[in-house]
Amino acid sequence: MSRAHVYIYGKVQGVFYRAATRDMARILGIKGWVKNCLDGGVEGVFEGEEVTVDKMVNWCRKGPSDAHVKKVDVRWEEYAGEFGEFSIVY
């Protein structure tokens, strides 16, 4: 099992990035959360099978069609298994 803590920068707010991330995470069976940051970026934590977490991180590099991702920082962390689902944090 794997855990990635990601920070996504670019035009990622106001383009349904969080909702699209939630939808993709649920399709892949990823648990965790995603939220907007005050600096205009998006932050998320993804937990699941290593191959699916890697797919989720790679998806974040593009995001939904109206997004323009400039940079994705990924911090790999120890799997904690603390989430029961994937949600948007407000």
Q: Which of 18, 58, 61, 75 is catalytic?
A: 18
Element (H, E) at 70: strand 68-77
Residue 18 bears catalytic tag: yes
| The one catalytic residue among 22, 36, 58, 75 | 36
Residue 34 in contact with residue 18, Cβ under 8 Å?
A: yes
Query: Is 58 one of the annotated active-site residues of the chain?
Result: no
Nearest to 67 by CA among 1, 19, 33, 6: 19
Both tokens of residue 31?
A: 């648990």
Active site residues: 18, 36
